Amino acid sequence: MTIYYKDAYINETSVTAGPFLIDGPLKEKFDNVYTDFYDKEKTFEDCEVNELVKTINTLLRKGNYNNRDISLLISADLSNQIVISNLAANKLGITYFGIYNACASFCESIILASSLLYNRDDKVICTTSAHNLTSERQFKAPVEYGMPKPEYSTFTASAATACIVSHKKEGVRIESGTIGKVIDLGVKDAFDMGSAMSPAAAYTLNKHLKDTNRDISYYDLILTGDLGLYGKKIFKEFCLKEYGLKINNYNDAACLIYNNKDSRVCAGGSGPSCLPTYVFCEIIPKMKKKKIKRVLLLATGALFSTTSVNQKKSIPCICHAVSLEAI
């Protein structure tokens, strides 16, 4: 399903970044940073909630809004029952919808926000949140185990991101969105999300190009969210073999946010904030200067839980696409 928007824009953006990100190539570009996983709070979860609230308050300040000016907050994170988003929404007092498509949630939120702009002055905030240690201990193993990881695993990006979507012609234009379907080729290794998610990304890319009748060269850049160093290669190969798509104008946000010489980040970033962190810090500023004009975002998500992995299910994956244009 591809939806076209006449006048939806991403206006202001805001990013708060934590450990590892703040040592990476984007280090000068964050609105807020925190240097340890507690940031003066008692729990990782409290830390994550507060970084998300701080990110939204920074966004409001940058846009010169207060929370009563906002029609709706759409938020996603990796915690069970997206409780980080729930607790942040509670502190902010903004009308709220929670969503969840794992790391594909950013594109889901942009598509929903663009579809929910009913009045001329509606403003919708889309947020994502992740914290490496809240998600590590929830999805994998208690942090204290110090469990070694395979080199193809990815390292959840500790960041909160927020943007305002509105009819106001400012920032970058949201031109269209393609909603993906669940693709599951049988990968069962929860560390190997790059392999699991690549076919979903290729499916949605091909669907978007077919629906819009566009050639891959239409875009200056195709950007996946968090396939990682290995998934990126698999994605390119899969696009060629399965759909005959040869993509050169391509990169993956997971490979661009860390200092890749640090072996602790393994194959790169992951999590729902990985893609918007890179997009808000690098892509939108370039689009505003018209250095790049058309970008297709492919946010990929691995839709598993610890229960489904423990019950030996394979990992169903999804990808949603959003097409951005410079104005």
- The residues that touch a copy of itself, with contacts defined as CB under 8 A, are 1, 3-4, 43, 45-46, 71-72, 78-83, 86-87, 89-90, 93-102, 108, 112, 115-116, 118, 122, 138, 179-182, 184, 303-308, 311, 313, 316, 318
**Distance in Å, CB of 300 to a copy of itself, minimum:** 13
57 DSSP assignment: H
Q: Which two tokens stand for residue 115?
A: 């579809």
Q: Which two tokens stand for residue 124?
A: 């919708």
Residues sharing a CB contact under 8 Å with residue 194, sequence separation 6 or more, in sequence order: 152, 154, 226, 227, 228, 229, 230, 231, 232, 234, 254, 267
Nearer to a copy of itself, 43 or 217 (CB): 43
Nearer to a copy of itself, 17 or 56 (CB): 56
**Distance in Å, CB of 177 to a copy of itself, minimum:** 10
**Distance in Å, CB of 144 to a copy of itself, minimum:** 17
**Distance in Å, CB of 302 to a copy of itself, minimum:** 9
Element (H, E) at 276: helix 274-278
Nearer to a copy of itself, 157 or 281 (CB): 157
Q: Which two tokens stand for residue 210?
A: 């077919």
Nearer to a copy of itself, 13 or 178 (CB): 178
Q: Which two tokens stand for residue 269?
A: 């970033």
Strand spans (E) along 25-71 = 32-33
**Distance in Å, CB of 220 to a copy of itself, minimum:** 26
Element (H, E) at 17: strand 9-17
**Distance in Å, CB of 87 to a copy of itself, minimum:** 6
Nearer to a copy of itself, 54 or 123 (CB): 123
Nearer to a copy of itself, 237 or 242 (CB): 242
